[in-house]
Structures are given as C-alpha cells and as structure tokens.
Chain A
Amino acid sequence: MSEKRAQIVCKALSLGYENQAVVEDLSFTVHSGDYLCIVGENGAGKTTLMRTLLGLIEPLSGEIVIGDGLRLNEIGYLPQQTEVQKDFPASVWEVVLSGCQARKGLRPFYNKEEKKLAEEMMQKMQIENFRGHCYRELSGGQQQRVLLARALCAARKILLLDEPVSGLDPKVTAQMYQLIKELNEEGITIIMISHDISAAVRYASHILHISDHIFFGTTEEYRNSKTGQFFLSMEGGAVDA
C-alpha cells in the first residue's frame, strides 16, 4: 500500500443538509488504483457523501484532503439519470463532448483535441456507431456507456459512479461491472455507490459501509467483520464469490 498515493483523505466528516447531519464521524482514505464501493441502506447518506466529494455540497464539519496532484473538479462523475434527461433532445456526440466542458473553459467552441478525445472515449466505450443517435432513445446500458464516455472526457484519474447499474437487466449489469473493472485495471481509481453488496465484495478492493455503524476497510476485512457477515448472509450467502 505504501507505494500508492493517497488521492482522497476524509477526516472526521460530518455530512448532511442545513445542519441536519446524515452521517457523522466518517474517515477513510482512497489511494490511486483503488476500487472503493460505498454500500448502505437507502437514506444512510451514500449520495450525500458522493455529492460532498464532488464539492456540490459542503461538509458540516471535518475535512477532505485531495492529494496526488488531483483537483476537486478532476473527478469524473457518472450521476444517476435525471427526469430532465428522459425527454432531452441530445445526440450521443453532444453528450460525450460535454464532458470536455471544463477543458474548454470560456472558449465558445470545442477545439480539435477535445473533439479527438471525445472520439477516443466513444470508441473505448464502443458507442461510436451511435454518434448521431438520440440519447433518450438508447437502451439503459447504452445510455450508461454514453455517460461513462462523458465522465472519462472530464477526468482520467478517478471516477465516481452513482448506482451505475440501477435499472439495468442482469446481462447488461454484468457487462457494466466488467467494463468498470477494466477501467480500474487500467489504473483509474473507482468510487462506486451500490445497493448490491454481493457484487461489491466481488469487484471492489475496499468497502465503505454506511449505516448506524460505519465500516471502512479492504474487502477481505469486510468479509470477516461482523457488519459484513451480517449483510452478506442477508444477501443470500454470496460470500463464496
């Protein structure tokens, strides 16, 4: 672990909205190349934590230290789909290219390098054939690939994924997990929110379990912990994975 650089260090975080703490005393560290899964019940504060990491909301107390030459806005983000997107007229190309918006800055139009980057990411996600297609008419799995390509345009070091497989059928879910694993093997740090504890222990290197009792450690430690054993047995004995 020592040769890995710490990218995000959270110290005694207290999270929530308008002084109403959802999560208290949360500490964990993410190193480059980690695959961290954040699990926990609905309303436990997973999405709040993610929004805090992205700088969308301020932590109530505690601090987040960003290391490894990373800036807070260099985190690629795969949000959950919003209502607006369901009837938004946008082509796949327009969506992927919008991942370069931070690079573009105040320039009115995208330049050649940015367009090239968007092309590359579309090839990587195998969606280059859908270039002119309408985003809202794609299948759920294709839409997630488009959003992944966009996130990769924004950042190459670290990706935050918010429930990336929700609403996907089992086959596409497996493909999605495989894709995320491949990205992780290329050296991209993955932080993923998930409901699916059995998939989390299968793919992730670290687990952060948010509930009344907060657990943070490697997947191995999680399997052996009380929290982990309790929840894994509830999931139906996926410990053998």
Chain B
Amino acid sequence: MKKTYHIEVDCANCANKMEQAAQKTPGVKEAVVNFMTLKMTIEFEEGRDPKTVMQAVLKNCKKVESDCEIDF
C-alpha cells in the first residue's frame, strides 16, 4: 500500500535526512520525500497499519530534524 503525506520542513538536506530516517523505520518498504512539493510517499509493508507505522516514522524524523512535521 502506498500513501502520500504532506510534510513541513525547511531545508533540502533535512528533507533528505527525513527520507533516510523513514526508510529505516520498520514497516516501511520504500520512502520518497519530495522537497519541492513537500510530500512524503510511503510504501508500507504488507499487513502493516499505516497509522502506527507513521507514528514511528514521525518519531524517527524528529530525531534527525526536530522541526519537521508530517500530517497523517
């Protein structure tokens, strides 16, 4: 399953870091952050609940960039 979320982040490098952080989160198969459109597209692994995975994603992203936000 693939879902796209709106994100808030100020710098391009932070967006790259968020992408890496999201990719390392369990339950995430593939993560792409598009800084220009401020969108994060997450492909979830089979049978994972997007909501709980996204909470973990947000937590990991906050670790690399404390100012970021993800709307989910």
**B and A form one assembly:** no
Q: Which residues of B contact A (CB under 8 A)?
A: none
Q: Which residues of A contact B (CB under 8 A)?
A: none
